[in-house]
Amino acid sequence: MRREIEDYFLNPPPGSAAARAAEFGIDLTLTLENLRLTAEERIRKLDNFIKSVEKLRKSVRIIDPSNATPRPDH
């Protein structure tokens, strides 16, 4: 990656979209980290994330009145 692109995200010019994003609270180092990856690496990373979310979703037990466990203090 070109050094000027890295510098832009690490030290965004005042008033730029990157500066506004940083002021809003967006971690630009994560954006930079993703830009350093190849397209294939980004796709692989996204696929792994999607698989993790699906695994987490399947492990969640929905609690509603029909399957809630009563607490002794209530």
What predicted TM-score, i.e. pTM, was given to this entire model?
Answer: 0.58
DSSP class of residue 26?
-
Domain boundaries, the chain: 1-40
Pairwise CA distance, residues 31 & 35, whole Å: 6
* pLDDT tens for each residue of 46-56: 999 999 999 88
* pLDDT tens for each residue of 10-48: 999 999 999 999 999 999 999 899 989 999 999 999 999
Residue with token string 């009145």: 65
